[in-house]
Amino acid sequence: MSKPTSGKTDRCSFCGRTKEEVNLLIAGVSGHICDACIDQAYTIIKEELKPVQKPFDLEDLDVKTPIEIKEFLDQYVIGQDDAKKVLSVAVYNHYKRLGQQDTRNEVEIEKSNIILVGETGTGKTLLAKTIAKMLNVPFTIVDATVLTEAGYVGEDIESLLTRLLQAADYDVKAAERGIVFIDEIDKIARKSDNPSITRDVSGEGVQQGLLKLLEGAIVNVPPQGGRKHPEQKMIPVDTKHILFIAGGAFDGIERKIAQRLNTKVIGYGAQKKADEIDRNNLIQYVAPQDLKAFGMIPEIVGRLPVIAHLNPLDRDALRQILTEPKNSIIKQYYKLFQMDHIKIVFDPDVLDYIVSLAIDFKLGARGLRSICESIMIDVMYESPTKKQPNIHITKSYAEQKISKITANRLKAG
């Protein structure tokens, strides 16, 4: 004779759902809990036990001197001493400005935003990323090419501050003491001096929108980025103490510089001065009027008062970039192969060959990696399977790989 059932159904003690309504029902001493309630309880515990974010405190800043900042940059970036000095002084002064508490009876220190001018592959973005490694203030890198005037397809200008807020974990006080690097700022230059019937929404329009950010204003920022809408919650951010560093290749600005220098060549004394001009590196003579001639509006040039130039990279500099910095390309290959217990050796003439190709292609330091990848792709593809203890890269092997790529491109053309 079977034991009669009581008719009682097992239920979750928290939500009341029956065993049939859930995936899993775990029995305890005097109750039950379902899998859904376990997930919810875990989420609550995780949120409650989350470490409390420490508020931004000026006393926690580890202030480095300009010389110390430059020494740090020297470990990762070859050459460009002038630009490094300008950046080092700007960052140091930014730290000092943050520590300035009382401005009622003292001179208030104003920020000096910077613009870096140099052809592609000379290290503008690398300088910014390297400084980001050592900073104790929020730092973000944004691309000017995606910015458009409000109301048009693209990102609003306030997205710069959204990225900074994200870098500061939404600590507004910390974000208001941060640094923003605006890359490719030359891409928002005015397209033409002649007025047009169509709006220049990604050029002059963006420059106009940047003015209030660069000078200092309280800007309402959408916390998650994207388009603004009336019901969206905004975060007010004061940009008065945010340091802006802009960088751009300004391709063709040498012609503007040459025209300006030639206008001053009058008489014997001026001719002597003209003879001293380095025609192979005109970028070092860049001045605010050249930026205006290129298409930057006068107001934005005035709000980027510090101009630093980056010299074109010669053969020696490219050779050093390939092997000497802490994170040089060749050291990265050594590390990659070491992870597979493989020792790789590059002949010195292979490195010279890579540098020669980078100069021929006129891609600067950025071209070094693409050339190296073209040479190394087959080795990296085969070596994890073959498990060779030693790999030796010769110049003839490198030439063979490059010629193969060139031949394939010619066939495709």
Q: Is the dihedral of CA 156, 161, 166, 171 positive or negative?
A: negative
pLDDT digits (tens, 9 = 90+) for 146-164: 887 655 555 778 888 988 9
Contact status, residue 166 vs residue 224, Cβ threshold 8 Å = no
Asked if residue 208 is part of any domain, the answer here is yes
pLDDT number for residue 344: 93
**Shared-domain flag, residues 104 and 251:** yes
Asked if residue 4 is part of any domain, the answer here is no
Whether pTM exceeds 0.85: no
Asked if residue 266 is part of any domain, the answer here is yes
* CB burial string 105-126: b at 16+ within 10 A, e below: eeeeeebbbbbbbbbbbbbbbb
pLDDT number for residue 7: 47
When pLDDT is averaged across residues 250-263 and rounded to a whole number, the result is 86
Q: Which is nearest to 392 in space by CA: 327, 338, 342, 325?
A: 342
How many C-alpha atoms does 289 have within 13 Å on its Cβ side? 8
**Shared-domain flag, residues 43 and 79:** no
**Bridge partner list, 88:** none
Domain boundary among 309, 344, 370: 309
**Shared-domain flag, residues 181 and 213:** yes
Q: Which is nearest to 376 in space by CA: 324, 409, 412, 330?
A: 330
User: Given pLDDT bands bounded at 50, 70 and 90, which one contains residue 89?
Assistant: very high
Give the chain's domain count: 3
**Shared-domain flag, residues 65 and 132:** yes
**Shared-domain flag, residues 143 and 171:** yes
Asked if residue 11 is part of any domain, the answer here is no
**Shared-domain flag, residues 153 and 24:** no
CATH number of the domain to which 350 belongs: 1.10.8.60
Parent domain of 230: 58-309
- Helix, strand counts (H, E) of the chain: 16, 11
pLDDT digits (tens, 9 = 90+) for 286-306: 999 999 989 899 999 999 999
**Shared-domain flag, residues 230 and 364:** no
Average pLDDT of the residues of the chain: 82
Strands 179-183 vs 243-248: parallel, antiparallel or unpaired? parallel
Domain boundary among 284, 309, 334: 309
User: Given pLDDT bands bounded at 50, 70 and 90, which one contains residue 61?
Assistant: low
**Shared-domain flag, residues 179 and 233:** yes
Contact status, residue 102 vs residue 94, Cβ threshold 8 Å = no
**Shared-domain flag, residues 225 and 361:** no
In the chain, pLDDT over 90 holds for what percent of residues?
Answer: 31
pLDDT number for residue 111: 81
**Shared-domain flag, residues 253 and 125:** yes
**Shared-domain flag, residues 43 and 62:** no
Contact status, residue 117 vs residue 253, Cβ threshold 8 Å = yes
Asked if residue 9 is part of any domain, the answer here is no
Asked if residue 40 is part of any domain, the answer here is yes
Asked if residue 99 is part of any domain, the answer here is yes
When pLDDT is averaged across residues 188-204 and rounded to a whole number, the result is 63
- φ and ψ of 188, to 5 deg: -105, 20
In the chain, pLDDT over 70 holds for what percent of residues?
Answer: 81
Residue with structure tokens 């008062």?
A: 305
Write down the H helix ranges in 325-365: 329-339, 348-361
Tokens at residue 244, please? Answer: 């802006």
Q: Which is nearest to 296 in space by CA: 189, 390, 163?
A: 189
Q: Which of 111-125, 216-230, 365-379 has the lowest mean pLDDT?
A: 216-230
**Shared-domain flag, residues 234 and 373:** no
Q: Which of 179-183, 220-224, 251-255, 269-273 has the lowest mean pLDDT?
A: 269-273
Contact status, residue 34 vs residue 22, Cβ threshold 8 Å = yes
pLDDT number for residue 149: 62
When pLDDT is averaged across residues 199-222 and rounded to a whole number, the result is 80
Asked if residue 219 is part of any domain, the answer here is yes
Domain boundary among 309, 339, 371: 309
User: Given pLDDT bands bounded at 50, 70 and 90, which one contains residue 244?
Assistant: very high
pLDDT number for residue 240: 87
